Amino acid sequence: MDNPNYHSGFVALIGRPNVGKSTLLNYVVGQKVAIMSDVPQTTRNKIQGIYTSDKAQIVFIDTPGVHKPRTKLGDFMEQSTMSALSEVDAVLFLVSATEKRGPGDDFIIERLKKVQKPIFLVVNKIDAVHPNDLPDIVAQYKDALPFKAVVPISALQGNNVNQLMNQLTDLMPKGPQYYPSDQVSDHPERFVIAELIREKVFQLTRQEVPHSVAIDVTQIKRQNEKTIHISANVIVERPGQKGIIIGKKGQMLKKIGQLARTDIEQLLGDHVYLQLWVKVVPDWRDKSTMLKDYGYRGRDY
Protein backbone atom coordinates (compact mmCIF):
# COMPACT_ATOMS: atom_id res chain seq x y z
CA MET A 1 0.00 0.00 0.00
CA ASP A 2 1.47 3.37 -1.09
CA ASN A 3 -0.77 5.64 1.00
CA PRO A 4 1.66 7.96 2.90
CA ASN A 5 -1.02 8.62 5.53
CA TYR A 6 -1.63 4.95 6.29
CA HIS A 7 -1.29 3.86 9.92
CA SER A 8 -0.18 0.49 11.24
CA GLY A 9 0.73 -0.85 14.64
CA PHE A 10 0.32 -3.39 17.39
CA VAL A 11 -2.13 -3.39 20.31
CA ALA A 12 -2.10 -5.72 23.33
CA LEU A 13 -5.28 -6.88 25.04
CA ILE A 14 -4.87 -7.53 28.74
CA GLY A 15 -7.28 -8.25 31.58
CA ARG A 16 -8.09 -10.87 34.14
CA PRO A 17 -9.73 -14.08 32.89
CA ASN A 18 -13.27 -13.89 31.48
CA VAL A 19 -13.46 -10.12 30.90
CA GLY A 20 -14.05 -10.67 27.17
CA LYS A 21 -10.66 -10.22 25.51
CA SER A 22 -11.23 -13.01 22.99
CA THR A 23 -14.82 -11.86 22.33
CA LEU A 24 -13.55 -8.36 21.51
CA LEU A 25 -10.79 -9.71 19.28
CA ASN A 26 -13.23 -11.90 17.38
CA TYR A 27 -15.74 -9.03 17.00
CA VAL A 28 -13.10 -6.66 15.63
CA VAL A 29 -11.61 -9.21 13.24
CA GLY A 30 -15.04 -10.54 12.24
CA GLN A 31 -13.98 -14.16 12.38
CA LYS A 32 -13.31 -16.66 15.12
CA VAL A 33 -9.54 -16.58 15.71
CA ALA A 34 -9.39 -16.63 19.52
CA ILE A 35 -10.79 -19.46 21.59
CA MET A 36 -13.73 -18.33 23.71
CA SER A 37 -14.72 -19.94 26.99
CA ASP A 38 -15.72 -18.91 30.48
CA VAL A 39 -12.97 -21.14 31.92
CA PRO A 40 -10.06 -18.98 33.19
CA GLN A 41 -6.69 -19.03 31.39
CA THR A 42 -8.14 -20.17 28.11
CA THR A 43 -5.76 -18.22 25.87
CA ARG A 44 -2.28 -19.71 26.05
CA ASN A 45 -0.42 -18.20 23.11
CA LYS A 46 -0.25 -14.64 21.90
CA ILE A 47 -3.02 -15.01 19.33
CA GLN A 48 -2.80 -12.24 16.80
CA GLY A 49 -5.93 -10.95 15.13
CA ILE A 50 -5.48 -8.53 12.27
CA TYR A 51 -7.87 -5.63 11.64
CA THR A 52 -7.52 -3.92 8.26
CA SER A 53 -9.36 -0.84 6.99
CA ASP A 54 -8.62 1.75 4.28
CA LYS A 55 -6.96 3.92 6.96
CA ALA A 56 -5.06 1.48 9.14
CA GLN A 57 -3.97 -2.03 9.94
CA ILE A 58 -3.93 -2.97 13.61
CA VAL A 59 -2.47 -6.26 14.81
CA PHE A 60 -3.99 -7.36 18.11
CA ILE A 61 -2.11 -9.52 20.56
CA ASP A 62 -4.45 -11.36 22.91
CA THR A 63 -2.24 -11.97 25.92
CA PRO A 64 -2.73 -14.93 28.26
CA GLY A 65 -4.65 -13.87 31.36
CA VAL A 66 -2.24 -12.48 33.91
CA HIS A 67 -2.07 -14.71 36.95
CA LYS A 68 0.48 -16.04 39.42
CA PRO A 69 2.20 -19.00 37.72
CA ARG A 70 2.05 -22.43 39.35
CA THR A 71 3.47 -24.62 36.59
CA LYS A 72 5.96 -24.30 33.74
CA LEU A 73 3.00 -23.68 31.46
CA GLY A 74 1.96 -20.91 33.84
CA ASP A 75 5.48 -19.42 33.70
CA PHE A 76 5.30 -19.45 29.91
CA MET A 77 1.93 -17.70 29.91
CA GLU A 78 3.19 -15.00 32.30
CA GLN A 79 6.36 -14.48 30.26
CA SER A 80 4.32 -14.34 27.07
CA THR A 81 2.12 -11.58 28.48
CA MET A 82 4.98 -9.39 29.66
CA SER A 83 6.87 -9.69 26.36
CA ALA A 84 3.70 -8.73 24.48
CA LEU A 85 3.37 -5.53 26.50
CA SER A 86 6.90 -4.44 25.61
CA GLU A 87 6.42 -4.68 21.84
CA VAL A 88 3.16 -2.84 21.18
CA ASP A 89 2.03 0.71 20.37
CA ALA A 90 -0.91 0.71 22.79
CA VAL A 91 -2.50 -1.46 25.48
CA LEU A 92 -6.19 -2.16 26.07
CA PHE A 93 -6.82 -2.99 29.73
CA LEU A 94 -10.18 -4.77 29.75
CA VAL A 95 -12.32 -4.94 32.86
CA SER A 96 -15.82 -6.28 33.30
CA ALA A 97 -18.70 -3.94 34.16
CA THR A 98 -20.38 -6.85 35.93
CA GLU A 99 -17.60 -7.43 38.48
CA LYS A 100 -16.06 -5.21 41.15
CA ARG A 101 -12.38 -4.34 40.94
CA GLY A 102 -10.53 -7.23 42.58
CA PRO A 103 -7.04 -8.54 43.40
CA GLY A 104 -6.66 -9.83 39.82
CA ASP A 105 -7.19 -6.32 38.44
CA ASP A 106 -4.78 -4.86 41.02
CA PHE A 107 -2.14 -7.42 40.01
CA ILE A 108 -2.44 -6.29 36.37
CA ILE A 109 -2.45 -2.59 37.30
CA GLU A 110 0.89 -3.09 39.14
CA ARG A 111 2.35 -4.65 35.99
CA LEU A 112 0.96 -1.88 33.78
CA LYS A 113 2.67 0.79 35.90
CA LYS A 114 5.94 -0.34 34.29
CA VAL A 115 4.55 -0.04 30.74
CA GLN A 116 5.51 3.15 28.91
CA LYS A 117 2.73 2.96 26.30
CA PRO A 118 -0.71 4.58 25.96
CA ILE A 119 -3.16 2.50 28.01
CA PHE A 120 -6.92 2.50 27.36
CA LEU A 121 -9.33 1.41 30.07
CA VAL A 122 -11.97 -0.62 28.24
CA VAL A 123 -15.02 -1.38 30.38
CA ASN A 124 -16.67 -4.39 28.74
CA LYS A 125 -20.11 -6.01 29.18
CA ILE A 126 -21.99 -2.71 29.50
CA ASP A 127 -24.99 -4.51 27.95
CA ALA A 128 -25.29 -6.43 31.25
CA VAL A 129 -25.54 -3.39 33.59
CA HIS A 130 -27.78 -0.32 33.96
CA PRO A 131 -26.30 2.83 32.32
CA ASN A 132 -26.70 4.70 35.63
CA ASP A 133 -24.22 2.30 37.24
CA LEU A 134 -21.42 3.05 34.75
CA PRO A 135 -19.91 6.13 36.49
CA ASP A 136 -19.42 4.14 39.72
CA ILE A 137 -17.89 1.22 37.81
CA VAL A 138 -15.41 3.51 36.00
CA ALA A 139 -14.61 5.37 39.25
CA GLN A 140 -13.08 2.16 40.69
CA TYR A 141 -10.28 2.34 38.11
CA LYS A 142 -9.85 5.84 36.76
CA ASP A 143 -7.18 6.95 39.25
CA ALA A 144 -5.24 3.67 39.12
CA LEU A 145 -3.27 4.59 35.98
CA PRO A 146 -2.92 7.64 33.69
CA PHE A 147 -5.29 6.21 31.08
CA LYS A 148 -5.22 7.62 27.57
CA ALA A 149 -9.01 7.18 27.45
CA VAL A 150 -11.86 5.30 29.12
CA VAL A 151 -14.13 3.48 26.65
CA PRO A 152 -17.21 1.53 27.82
CA ILE A 153 -18.12 -1.22 25.31
CA SER A 154 -20.05 -4.40 24.71
CA ALA A 155 -17.74 -6.76 22.81
CA LEU A 156 -20.65 -9.18 22.44
CA GLN A 157 -23.03 -6.70 20.81
CA GLY A 158 -20.47 -4.27 19.35
CA ASN A 159 -21.58 -1.16 21.30
CA ASN A 160 -18.89 1.56 21.06
CA VAL A 161 -16.37 -0.82 19.47
CA ASN A 162 -16.16 1.39 16.36
CA GLN A 163 -15.41 4.40 18.56
CA LEU A 164 -12.60 2.43 20.21
CA MET A 165 -11.21 1.40 16.81
CA ASN A 166 -11.27 5.03 15.59
CA GLN A 167 -9.27 6.16 18.61
CA LEU A 168 -6.74 3.35 18.12
CA THR A 169 -6.44 4.13 14.39
CA ASP A 170 -5.58 7.77 15.15
CA LEU A 171 -2.98 6.68 17.69
CA MET A 172 -1.12 4.17 15.49
CA PRO A 173 2.14 5.36 13.92
CA LYS A 174 2.26 5.94 10.18
CA GLY A 175 3.43 2.81 8.45
CA PRO A 176 2.79 0.16 5.82
CA GLN A 177 0.22 -2.61 5.74
CA TYR A 178 2.07 -5.64 7.13
CA TYR A 179 -0.43 -8.32 6.14
CA PRO A 180 -2.77 -8.90 3.16
CA SER A 181 -6.23 -7.32 3.64
CA ASP A 182 -8.01 -10.67 3.86
CA GLN A 183 -5.66 -12.19 6.46
CA VAL A 184 -7.09 -12.24 9.99
CA SER A 185 -4.38 -14.10 11.91
CA ASP A 186 -0.66 -14.75 11.58
CA HIS A 187 -0.94 -18.23 13.07
CA PRO A 188 -0.63 -21.28 10.84
CA GLU A 189 -3.83 -23.21 10.22
CA ARG A 190 -2.57 -26.10 12.38
CA PHE A 191 -2.52 -23.80 15.43
CA VAL A 192 -6.01 -22.40 14.81
CA ILE A 193 -7.41 -25.91 14.23
CA ALA A 194 -5.91 -27.04 17.56
CA GLU A 195 -7.47 -24.04 19.30
CA LEU A 196 -10.92 -24.77 17.84
CA ILE A 197 -10.76 -28.39 19.07
CA ARG A 198 -9.55 -27.24 22.49
CA GLU A 199 -12.43 -24.77 22.69
CA LYS A 200 -14.93 -27.61 22.34
CA VAL A 201 -13.21 -29.58 25.10
CA PHE A 202 -13.55 -26.49 27.32
CA GLN A 203 -17.20 -26.06 26.47
CA LEU A 204 -18.25 -29.67 26.94
CA THR A 205 -16.09 -30.97 29.80
CA ARG A 206 -16.05 -29.00 33.00
CA GLN A 207 -14.51 -30.28 36.24
CA GLU A 208 -10.70 -30.33 36.20
CA VAL A 209 -10.15 -31.46 32.65
CA PRO A 210 -9.75 -28.19 30.69
CA HIS A 211 -6.62 -26.89 32.42
CA SER A 212 -4.71 -30.02 31.64
CA VAL A 213 -5.66 -30.37 27.98
CA ALA A 214 -3.45 -29.74 24.98
CA ILE A 215 -4.23 -30.54 21.35
CA ASP A 216 -1.56 -32.03 19.11
CA VAL A 217 -2.64 -31.88 15.45
CA THR A 218 -0.68 -34.74 13.90
CA GLN A 219 -1.91 -34.59 10.30
CA ILE A 220 -3.63 -32.23 7.88
CA LYS A 221 -3.89 -33.96 4.53
CA ARG A 222 -6.00 -33.15 1.48
CA GLN A 223 -7.89 -36.26 0.46
CA ASN A 224 -9.40 -34.83 -2.71
CA GLU A 225 -10.59 -31.50 -4.13
CA LYS A 226 -13.32 -31.11 -1.53
CA THR A 227 -12.13 -33.04 1.56
CA ILE A 228 -9.35 -32.50 4.10
CA HIS A 229 -8.38 -35.26 6.52
CA ILE A 230 -7.27 -34.05 9.97
CA SER A 231 -5.94 -36.19 12.81
CA ALA A 232 -5.32 -34.87 16.33
CA ASN A 233 -4.50 -36.12 19.80
CA VAL A 234 -6.28 -34.68 22.84
CA ILE A 235 -3.55 -34.71 25.50
CA VAL A 236 -4.55 -35.11 29.17
CA GLU A 237 -2.53 -35.71 32.35
CA ARG A 238 -4.48 -38.51 34.04
CA PRO A 239 -6.37 -41.67 32.98
CA GLY A 240 -9.52 -40.39 34.73
CA GLN A 241 -9.52 -37.31 32.49
CA LYS A 242 -9.22 -39.56 29.44
CA GLY A 243 -12.41 -41.33 30.53
CA ILE A 244 -14.28 -38.03 30.90
CA ILE A 245 -13.26 -36.81 27.43
CA ILE A 246 -14.11 -40.12 25.73
CA GLY A 247 -17.42 -40.37 27.63
CA LYS A 248 -19.89 -43.25 27.72
CA LYS A 249 -19.53 -45.34 24.56
CA GLY A 250 -17.33 -42.59 23.09
CA GLN A 251 -20.22 -40.09 22.99
CA MET A 252 -18.32 -37.12 24.47
CA LEU A 253 -15.38 -37.44 22.09
CA LYS A 254 -17.81 -37.79 19.20
CA LYS A 255 -19.60 -34.58 20.22
CA ILE A 256 -16.31 -32.68 20.60
CA GLY A 257 -15.33 -33.83 17.12
CA GLN A 258 -18.66 -32.88 15.53
CA LEU A 259 -18.66 -29.34 16.97
CA ALA A 260 -14.97 -28.78 16.18
CA ARG A 261 -15.43 -30.06 12.63
CA THR A 262 -18.17 -27.48 11.96
CA ASP A 263 -15.85 -24.60 12.96
CA ILE A 264 -12.85 -26.05 11.09
CA GLU A 265 -14.92 -26.42 7.91
CA GLN A 266 -15.88 -22.76 8.21
CA LEU A 267 -12.21 -21.82 8.65
CA LEU A 268 -10.91 -23.90 5.74
CA GLY A 269 -13.92 -23.67 3.41
CA ASP A 270 -13.76 -27.41 2.72
CA HIS A 271 -15.38 -30.61 3.93
CA VAL A 272 -13.34 -31.97 6.86
CA TYR A 273 -12.92 -35.53 8.07
CA LEU A 274 -11.70 -35.18 11.68
CA GLN A 275 -10.25 -38.05 13.71
CA LEU A 276 -9.57 -37.54 17.43
CA TRP A 277 -7.69 -39.74 19.88
CA VAL A 278 -7.14 -39.16 23.61
CA LYS A 279 -3.63 -39.62 24.95
CA VAL A 280 -2.43 -39.56 28.58
CA VAL A 281 0.88 -37.72 29.09
CA PRO A 282 1.44 -37.37 32.88
CA ASP A 283 2.40 -33.83 34.03
CA TRP A 284 2.93 -32.53 30.49
CA ARG A 285 2.45 -28.94 31.75
CA ASP A 286 5.70 -29.21 33.73
CA LYS A 287 7.81 -30.79 30.98
CA SER A 288 9.70 -28.37 28.75
CA THR A 289 9.94 -30.76 25.78
CA MET A 290 6.19 -31.42 25.92
CA LEU A 291 5.42 -27.68 26.03
CA LYS A 292 7.48 -27.22 22.87
CA ASP A 293 5.82 -30.18 21.15
CA TYR A 294 2.37 -28.73 21.84
CA GLY A 295 3.24 -25.25 20.59
CA TYR A 296 4.19 -23.32 23.73
CA ARG A 297 7.57 -21.82 22.94
CA GLY A 298 9.05 -19.60 25.63
CA ARG A 299 12.53 -18.11 25.76
CA ASP A 300 13.68 -20.49 28.48
CA TYR A 301 12.25 -23.74 27.21
Q: Residue 17, annotated ligand binder?
A: yes
Question: Rounded CA gap, 142 and 130, in Å?
Answer: 19
Are the beta carbons of 97 and 152 closer than 8 angstroms? Answer: yes
Any residues with CB less than 8 A from the CB of 238 and at least 6 apart, and which?
Answer: 212, 280, 282
Q: Residue 98, annotated ligand binder?
A: no
Q: Residue 21, annotated ligand binder?
A: yes
Q: Residue 62, annotated ligand binder?
A: yes
Q: Residue 159, annotated ligand binder?
A: no
Q: Residue 64, annotated ligand binder?
A: yes
Q: Residue 124, annotated ligand binder?
A: yes
Q: Residue 242, annotated ligand binder?
A: no
Q: Residue 234, annotated ligand binder?
A: no
Q: Residue 166, annotated ligand binder?
A: no
- How far is Cα of residue 24 from the mean position of the Cα atoms in its chain? 10
Q: Residue 95, annotated ligand binder?
A: no
Q: Residue 66, annotated ligand binder?
A: yes
Q: Residue 32, annotated ligand binder?
A: no
Q: Residue 188, annotated ligand binder?
A: no
Q: Residue 30, annotated ligand binder?
A: no
Burial of 30 (0-12, 13-18, 19+ CB in 10 A): exposed
Known binding residues for GTP are 15-22, 62-66, 124-127
Known binding residues are 15-22, 62-66, 124-127
